[in-house]
């Protein structure tokens, strides 16, 4: 899965009684102004619980692959976005 460069804000709240963290769902805003845009760059990524909203701000040629997440390490990308199934074709306007 490819992801365009856009910051992903995952809020983590530390529990006052320990080291437990609670991750809040995030919306990844994937805005593409060129084929080289990648919204999320991370050393591993968990998509579960998050959604992604796409905005296309240029006219790509047919067959252009757009990346949503760029994994910069050996850590895995896990889960799927809540509103996007694996291999799903997305119509962008």
pLDDT of residue 53: 93
Per-residue pLDDT tens listing for the chain (93 residues): 444 433 332 222 223 334 444 455 789 999 999 999 999 999 999 999 999 999 999 999 988 889 999 999 999 999 989 998 877 888 776
14 φ/ψ angles, rounded to the nearest 5 degrees: -85, 130
Residues ≥6 apart with Cβ < 8 Å to 32: 4, 54, 55, 56, 57, 58, 60, 66, 92
């Amino acid at each position: 899965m490819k992801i365009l460069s856009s910051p992903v804000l995952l809020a983590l709240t530390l529990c006052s009684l320990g080291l437990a963290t609670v991750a809040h769902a995030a919306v990844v805003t994937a805005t593409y102004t060129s084929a080289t845009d990648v919204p999320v760059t991370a050393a591993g990524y968990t998509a579960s619980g998050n959604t992604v909203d796409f905005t296309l701000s240029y006219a790509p040629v047919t067959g252009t692959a757009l990346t949503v997440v760029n994994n910069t390490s050996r850590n895995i990308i896990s889960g799927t976005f809540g509103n996007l199934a694996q291999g799903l074709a997305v119509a962008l306007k």
